Amino acid sequence: MLDRLRSAVERAYLRYLHRRVETVPTHVAVIQDGNRRYARERGDDAPDGHRAGANTTERVLDWCADLGVSELTLYAFSTENFERPDEELEPLFDLLETKLLEFADADRVHDQGVQVRAIGDVDRLPPRVREAVDYAERRTADNDRFTLNVALAYGGRTELLDAARGVAREVAAGDLDPADVDVGTVERRLYDRPIRDVDLIVRTGGDERTSNFLPWHANGNEAAVYFCTPYWPEFSEVDFMRAIRTYQAREASWRRARAERAAALVRAIAEVEIAEARGVARRLRGRLPRSEIDVVAEELPEGEDVPAAEAVSSPATASVASAVDADDESEPAD
């Protein structure tokens, strides 16, 4: 009776959380921590925890599909994991091989349009795992509605180091001008796998660190981060929805900060010349959500409105509007 009541309450809470979803992250990355501790606390061996965690992974895919998330990256095996004893590594490699093969042939994977890609130094893995990776990538190559990145033999520092070495080799060979090195130059050398910027990182198991995971795509994008205490096999849909709410709160904070910066710039210009302030307001109108235009309008003198966007060619107006755009890219998290 108590279990049925608890289940009913959880379903109701989930419906409430789903109704509160307004913005959905495009790319979610997950650090699946706690499999071994989960097994140990139940008197089981580490491979049992990894198998339980694999079931959670399949559920998370369904949750992402339900919400409309476009890309999911799972930290399945790090470069540091090679230091574990053989009696733990061999069953883990067996599980990776089995799950990749099963997943590649699963009807629901193809029904959901999931494309599987491995990122990391895959060549370091045993041949049977590499063959399973190749098979999964080939079988799902034509799917294009959802991307599942499986980080295998992955290390963020190694990823950046390899990219830097690649750039250095091309510069030394005279094939690349140092002045031409930009963000795209580095991204094209990150394991030869294009990845969207990460919007949200989720880590289970209680530790509050991101463990060398996707430093370019997550830290560079100032991704929202959600840490939670359940071990990965215990991670529930309620936990997942709470992570989504963390992302939403971060996005709302950025929108408020953007509106406040815009209003502050209008005030500053208004002190010099009201005409310029109106021009800046017109330019900013196209860069702010409709709900935040009132924040800017309040800073104009009484009777002045923020009209429909008009072309304003003043150098001062253009430079201030550009400053808002540039600053918007570097706003730190609260």
Q: Which amino acid is at 79?
A: T
**Contact status, residue 317 vs residue 286, Cβ threshold 8 Å:** no
33, 149, 199, 212: the catalytic one is 33
44, 45, 81, 121: the catalytic one is 81
* Cβ within 8 Å of residue 60, ≥6 positions away: 30, 72, 235, 240
Annotated catalytic residue 143: no
250 labelled binding-site residue: no
What is the DSSP-derived secondary structure letter of residue 233?
A: G
Task: Give the C-alpha separation, 126 to 153, whole Å.
Answer: 11
Burial pattern 5-23, b for ≥16 Cβ within 10 A else e, equals: eeeeeeeeeeeebeeeeee
Q: Long-range contact list for 191-194, CB < 8 A, 24+ apart? A: 191/119, 191/120, 191/159, 191/162, 193/117, 193/119, 193/149
185 labelled binding-site residue: no
222 labelled binding-site residue: yes
138 labelled binding-site residue: no
113 labelled binding-site residue: no
33 labelled binding-site residue: yes
**Contact status, residue 301 vs residue 266, Cβ threshold 8 Å:** no
35 labelled binding-site residue: yes
130 labelled binding-site residue: no
Beta strands in the chain (DSSP E): 27-31, 71-78, 114-119, 146-154, 200-203, 224-227
Nearest-10 crossing angle of helices 237-270, 2-19: 30
121 labelled binding-site residue: no
37 labelled binding-site residue: yes
98 labelled binding-site residue: no
209 labelled binding-site residue: yes
78 labelled binding-site residue: yes
**Contact status, residue 188 vs residue 111, Cβ threshold 8 Å:** no
Annotated catalytic residue 33: yes
234 labelled binding-site residue: no
Instruction: For residue 310, give the nearest of 290, 285, 275, 274 by alpha carbon.
Output: 285
The two beta strands, 71-78 and 27-31, are: parallel
CA angle 102, 105, 106 (to 5 degrees): 80
Q: How many residues are present in the chain?
A: 334
**Contact status, residue 20 vs residue 245, Cβ threshold 8 Å:** yes
- Residues of the binding site: 33-37, 50, 78-80, 82, 84, 203, 209-211, 222
- Residues of the binding site for Mg(2+): 33, 222
Active site positions, annotated: 33, 81
- Residues of the binding site for substrate: 34-37, 50, 78-80, 82, 84, 203, 209-211
